[in-house]
A and B are shown apart, each in its own frame.
Chain A
């Protein structure tokens, strides 16, 4: 059997069947994080710091504990001690220790017999604070006079003489940038800033926890990675990992923000103390104040170009503020910045800066959109100055197979040139603009990811198939897994049921992040199906009395091949599974690995912006997303990823931002004030799926989830800057900022 050849003709992959969870989700039957109940369940509530930075002098829980209906109060004293590294950082974020580090930082929690009582009891917990100086802006946090937030956090990478708030440093590149700039006909250097935005998933964090005094527990939660939750909750509670079984609920959006834990360890601590199950659900305000927004950034980019559009050198400095904890993805920002371009001379530097804000969390291609905003804005300025076509300039410099990437490795098969050609040839790019409109384009890059992956596939006696995967389905992945399994097995899509298994059912699975699910769980599903096929061929061979390698698998049947071809009637899958108990036992297939061939991803966006010079308001009349999917398994959900990324990018570019007052408190912690795009803000979003197969996947699949948010900030900034006639340097490009820019320009 030749199972390793890359497939190019498909029966099921590439079609658009109904998703398997569709019925549950249109009837209200699907169970999300907050939809679970347990007998004897209590409700939790969390007390949060109203200060940006304060020493916790004393917590008096006596009044709350005395209240009728209150069954447990926990503080940091109820969690494990002695943690180090990321476990310690997560614990510090989940429940403050000596110091509250941002507005909204959890300091205590209570469980009571009703949600209303829990809320009332939380108000009775008295916390005495000693307010400390704070800083929330990235540049101010690096300045010599900035308050030191957590001294000793910096690692060995940080150069001598930096402020203690600079906690990590990155530098990479190749060639000689000084020599490259000397060759240029024009060098432009400019500075940019972006404000933090939130992932804005509509489902707040929610969980139902049960932990006994024997250290055995159950956790139901909305998460992108329940093994991650298991590992971190166990560490924070001081219990054994395998004693905690975690089940992922249906997840109401995550976009990277549900790749960590916030309330889950707290609910477990409350449950352990109360000896009853505890449900904990965040309010929207808690989500915005205390869960991961993106980093805010401050960036300087310098690019040299010849008159013909050739880039001779590029250099960038990227400063990312990631809240009061190390981990702002500045190395991704730096590494993604110039990845679309084949450059002889490139250098990028990143700074991870801490400030009194919530711990940043991943948000769709973490770090990359900001870099693209700065880099692609400078390229647009160069195109304007040198009177060059923006797509042609990008085509001239585009990375292709064999290019040494700005961040080190050489690219394999990639689809950037194909995306740019599709942009150039798209009717949108040549359509006339109306008065007051500008057109912008941008490239975008994301690495994509493999990660630990474990899949199990079991055959039923009737020839149908159960697939257990460990990556929560965040946007239709059960449909794509079923399509890949049906393609491999040669049986109908409808005969396959895909389940997101709990942590007790499979080996470790990395989080649903990095655009890894369709690639890695898909690859594992295909390999698991191939293992089951091998076993079915073995059973057929035994039945026919011929060698195993004389049986091949075709269209869902074992078929004799070679010298035995035609000797026996093909055995359909259901014929083999019907008596598998008697022919050797149940048949299943497994695959466990950390696949390394994720295949990087490129996209190009074209956007038209209309700026009203009277009000500064921007509208988006037309938007086109072009992106390489490798192979689109379920094209409708690939389009959906492209459109969703673009819409989030539109929000980030034009409107969304974290607004902190002088007191360090978040001023817009509700959806009315943190306004994400609504239906009437957006146009239809056109999509073009480019397919340059990924050599690292049997069907050529590349992840598609994240790249779609990389180009919008820059593409919209370029469109707005051209429409307004003034270059925009700061996001979001809200009406006041646009009016200020127009005024400054005279």
Chain B
């Protein structure tokens, strides 16, 4: 099957790739662009480990075709830190021990960042419902929720 040429922007960098029409955005990120931070936990949009944003909108990259990235701005976990400065969410996840195995962490960070951009002062319930599409099997979510709430507080105080 002939491939499609796609021009897009990933984490601020202009990027071109060729992909099979059947390939998902997740396949392209991982296998063609070597951005393996987004993970495939299910391939059916149920676990959120592949979360990225497209033009600022939170999506499961396993449910988007690679070809759909044409002309879009993609943001992945690899783009959250600025140089060697971690985003407050990243710092708080480490401080609160909000990860154990770490496989869900990239998706949860992308999703949580997206939440705080829309709602800088979420309640615990709002955080829990926003992250309900991101499965974590290790932590029971307790420390994740605390890390997100704490990062939100710090970001509000800093702004």
Contacts and interface: CB of A to CB of B under 8 A. Distances in A.
B64 to A, nearest CB: 17
B97 A636 contact: yes
Interface string B21-60: 0110001001100111111111110110100000000000
A476 B81 contact: no
A158 interface: no
A435 interface: no
A640 interface: yes
A250 interface: yes
A223 to B, nearest CB: 13
B37 to A, nearest CB: 2
A200 B128 CA distance: 20
A71 B67 CA distance: 28
Interface string B115-143: 00000000011011101111111111111
Interface string A1-43: 0000000000000001011011111111111101101000000
A679 B108 CA distance: 11
20 contacts: A26-B93, A27-B77, A27-B80, A28-B76, A29-B37, A34-B30, A201-B103, A284-B41, A284-B44, A640-B100, A640-B140, A643-B140, A678-B131, A678-B134, A679-B128, A679-B134, A679-B136, A679-B144, A680-B125, A681-B132
A431 interface: no
A684 interface: yes
B138 A475 contact: yes
Nearest to B1: A116
B48 to A, nearest CB: 9
B125 to A, nearest CB: 8
Given A26-B109, A27-B77, A28-B38, A21 B102 contact: yes
Interface of A: 16, 18-19, 21-32, 34-35, 37, 114-116, 199-204, 250-255, 281, 283-284, 474-476, 634, 636-637, 639-641, 643-644, 646-648, 670-672, 676-682, 684-685
Instruction: Determine which residue in A21, A204, A639, A644 has the highest number of CB atoms from chain B within 10 A of its CB, and name it.
Output: A644
Given A679-B132, A679-B145, A253 B99 contact: no
User: 8 tightest CB-CB pairs across the interface, nearest first?
Assistant: A28-B37, A252-B103, A647-B140, A25-B102, A643-B140, A671-B46, A636-B97, A22-B94
Contact of B142 (A23, A32, A643, A672): A643
Nearest to A35: B36
A27 B103 contact: no
A18 B49 CA distance: 23
A224 B104 CA distance: 18
A27 B27 CA distance: 19
Contacts of B142: 643, 682, 684-685
A685 B140 CA distance: 8
B144 A648 contact: no
Contacts of B125: 680
Given A202-B47, A203-B39, A670-B44, A475 B101 contact: yes
A22 B92 CA distance: 11
Contact of B44 (A114, A253, A476, A671): A671
A203 B101 contact: yes
Nearest to A476: B100
A116 B47 contact: no
A19 B97 contact: yes
Contacts of B141: 647, 679, 682
Contacts of A678: 131-135
Contacts of B105: 25-26
Contacts of B44: 284, 670-672
A12 B35 CA distance: 36
B20 interface: yes
B61 interface: no
Instruction: Determine which residue in A27, A31, A200, A636 has the highest number of CB atoms from chain B within 10 A of its CB, and name it.
Output: A27
B128 A671 contact: no
B99 A32 contact: no
Contacts of A283: 43
Given A28-B36, A204-B40, 15 more contacts: A26-B90, A27-B80, A27-B81, A28-B37, A28-B76, A34-B36, A35-B30, A201-B101, A203-B41, A252-B102, A253-B138, A284-B42, A640-B138, A678-B133, A678-B134
Given A644-B139, A671-B135, A16 B23 contact: no
B39 A643 contact: no
A680 B126 CA distance: 9
Contacts of A116: 20, 22-23
A536 B100 CA distance: 35
Contacts of B99: 22, 25-26
Nearest to B105: A25
A474 B100 CA distance: 7
A379 B128 CA distance: 35
B33 to A, nearest CB: 12
Contacts of A647: 137, 139-141
Contacts of A671: 41-42, 44, 46-47, 135
Contacts of A30: 102
A29 B95 CA distance: 18
A654 to B, nearest CB: 14
Contacts of B81: 27
B78 interface: yes
B63 to A, nearest CB: 12
A644 B138 contact: yes
A636 B128 CA distance: 21
B86 interface: yes
B116 to A, nearest CB: 15
Nearest to B81: A27
Instruction: Determine which residue in B35, B100, B143 has the highest number of CB atoms from chain A within 10 A of its CB, and name it.
Output: B100
Given A203-B103, A252-B101, A680 B129 contact: yes
A251 B102 CA distance: 8
A577 to B, nearest CB: 29
A719 B151 CA distance: 35
Nearest to A672: B46
A726 B135 CA distance: 32
A205 B16 CA distance: 30
A35 to B, nearest CB: 4
Contacts of B137: 199-202, 253, 255, 644, 647-648, 676
Contacts of B128: 679-680, 682
Interface string B143-154: 111100000000
B41 A204 contact: yes
A202 B144 contact: no
Nearest to A675: B46
Nearest to A288: B42
Contacts of A251: 101
Contacts of A644: 100, 137-140
Contacts of B93: 22, 26
Given A32-B39, A676-B135, A202 B49 contact: yes
